[in-house]
Structure 1
Amino acid sequence: MQVITFTYDKSSNWYKEELEGCLNWTLVLVTYGRCVYWINEKKQVVEKGQWLLIPSKTPFYGRSVPTQIHEKYVVQFIADPSDELFPLLQLPHYTSRLTGKYELIVDRLRLIHQQWQDKQSYYQTLCEALLKELFVHLHREWDQDTTTTATAQLVEQMKGYIQNHYREHVTKDELAACISRSPNYTAALFRKVTGQTISEFVHATRIKTGIYMLRHSALSVTEISEFIGYNDPSYFYRVFRRLTGLVPTDLVSDRETIRK
């Protein structure tokens, strides 16, 4: 895969037109709100948590829903012969799906976006490796495609519990009690549907909050570390760098001016 362009859109008046068809493949993931595409004159509404894959040379145009802000990642890429292993790239028509691995997919796209903006050495190679990994996760979910509504609801219950308790030490036993299932079944179900272990999801939730606080609060790195559940600031640094490629002080240095 060769990444050609990568953008992050946040707009209420976005419009894109490729009436002759784009030469590249287009992958979209909406992270907030919704937008509308017309692909080969068929309407496709894409909402938060939903991805859309448009084959190369496919005519389409898209726009924002009037007066509504939406946010999305858009990557355009060229598929190469080695990508024949991915069935989605062999389909002649567009494909869209609501993903159960939303946090994992967003994390990969966020990393690609960061690399694409920073343009450090070998960024193109890293972006393409991350995109290929992303497609592995999309295909695993596509191939399984057996997640029932009841199963999805159990996972959403677990996610809700983690959102409310991520600052604590969340265990599979606690989540098992939350959904009235055995701990081992709970852990396996969570990983199958989300693509992440319980621990990975907890860390990602903490770091997401940490990123916001580093940019917009007046708290120190140590105070933020303790607030989101890391009593050891050095451990917070290690997890933060592993998940974002940055260190917390990178965000503190350009945070907003806080009026006291």
Structure 2
Amino acid sequence: MLSILAVFFDSFIPNWHTKMEKIDYNVLILVTQGHVQYILDGKEITAEKGDILFIPASTVREGKNHESGLHQKYTVVFTLQDNGIPNNTFPIDQKFHHIKTRSLEYMKHRFERLYFDIRGDKTHRDFICLGILQELIGLFARELESPSITPIKVKYAKIIERFLLENYRKPIEIDQLAKLIHRSPGYTISVFKEVIGQSPIKYIHQLRVMEACNLLINTDMTVVAISEYLGYYDTSYFSRMFKKLTAMSPKEFMMVGHQVEVSMLFT
């Protein structure tokens, strides 16, 4: 049984340091900016932006700011109790794990959601927060099982992803993306899908539809205006793509959007 003890967000804290001690809880960490230094059972570990760490109970741990500067990270502290019954469902081996996530923005959003939801006295807070932690652990375990991806592929995918994030409202061709990394169109599609989990074209549509969700909820723009703003000059095509990705039409989403966790529509 999982039990959340605390969720922290450390944001560029001067002189940040955790003393050396043997911990009696598990720790799940996502680094979102900078570098952070740990000593775990006598071994030095440096984590950087996009890294997720799982530190199991009984680890002798010490942490501090990296010499390169301050950092930003989310930390979830939790226990795993079996109440005397062997627990075979926890998907992570009880040892230290350190990976670079292929879904940084989504992981960041879920850690952030957990951080905010665990505060305050909201209805069903504990149940919801436990579900988010289980999701994070499951996603982490899934990435652990995936074949390792070479650093150069990650670099290529991030170059393409950054370009798409900055230009998703514009017409984009695969040849244009291939030129960014000086590789063939076929390789470009393959490496992006391997690292990010979907093709560049689907990723563009997802970015557009996510922004459409925001505009439908928070502005008085019409569906036609949003379609044109996002680069869809055929409103019917925009509506079909919106429904394909969210299972709702834009008009249906307008009626229920405030009650929906938008990011969950795209998992």
User: Does TM, scored on the shorter chain, surpass 0.5?
Assistant: yes
Unmatched 5+ stretches in structure 1: 211-219, 246-260
Alpha-carbon distance in structure 2 between the residues aligned to 1:86 and 1:190: 30
Contact 1:102–1:194 (CA under 8 A) maintained in structure 2 = no
Does the 8 Å contact 1:32/1:71 carry over to 2? yes
Contact 2:91 2:138 (8 Å CA) reproduced: no
1:124 match:
126
RMSD: 3.9
The equivalent of 2:177 in structure 1 is 178
Pick the aligned partner of 2:16 from 14, 17, 29: 14
Q: 1:62 and 2:86 equivalent? A: no
Closer, same or farther: CA 153–48 of 1 in aligned 2, 3 Å: closer
- Relative to structure 1, the CA distance from residue 101 to residue 142 in structure 2 (aligned partners, 3 Å threshold; closer, same or farther) is same
Equivalent pair of 1:26/1:76 in contact (CA under 8 Å): yes
**Shift in CA distance, 5/57, structure 1 to aligned 2, threshold 3 Å:** same
- 1:84 aligned residue (85, 88, 95): 88
Q: Give the aligned residue type for 2:34.
A: G
TM-score w.r.t. structure 2 length?
Answer: 0.68
**Deviation at 1:181?**
3.2
Match of 1:217 in 2: none
Identity of aligned residues (%): 20
Separation of aligned partners in 1, 2:263 and 2:159: 27
8 Å contact kept, 2:210–2:262: no
SS of the residue 1:117 aligns to: coil
What does residue 43 of structure 2 align with? 42
Amino acid in structure 1 at the alignment position of 2:185: R
Deviation of the 1:128 alpha carbon: 1.4
The residue correspondences of 1:145-224 to structure 2 (distance < 5 A) are 145-168=147-170, 174-175=173-174, 178-179=177-178, 180-182=184-186, 186=189, 190=192, 192-195=194-197, 198=203, 202=207, 206=211, 221=219
3-state SS of paired residue (1:23): coil
Q: Secondary structure at the match of 2:88?
A: helix
Q: CA deviation at 1:91?
A: 3.1
How far apart in 2 are the matches of 1:49 and 1:195? 16
Residue by residue, what CA displacement relative to the aligned partner does 1:96-145 show, whole Å, maximum 9, x if unpaired?
A: 11222211211211111121124411111111111111122212221112
CA distance in 1, matches of 2:124, 2:166: 39
Equivalent residue pairs, number: 226
Query: Structure 1 residue aligned with 2:104, among 102, 105, 108?
Result: 102
Distance 1:74 1:15, change over 3 A: same
Question: Which residue matches 1:71?
Answer: 72
Question: Offset of 1:23 from its aligned partner?
Answer: 1.6
1:192 to partner: Cα distance? 4.7
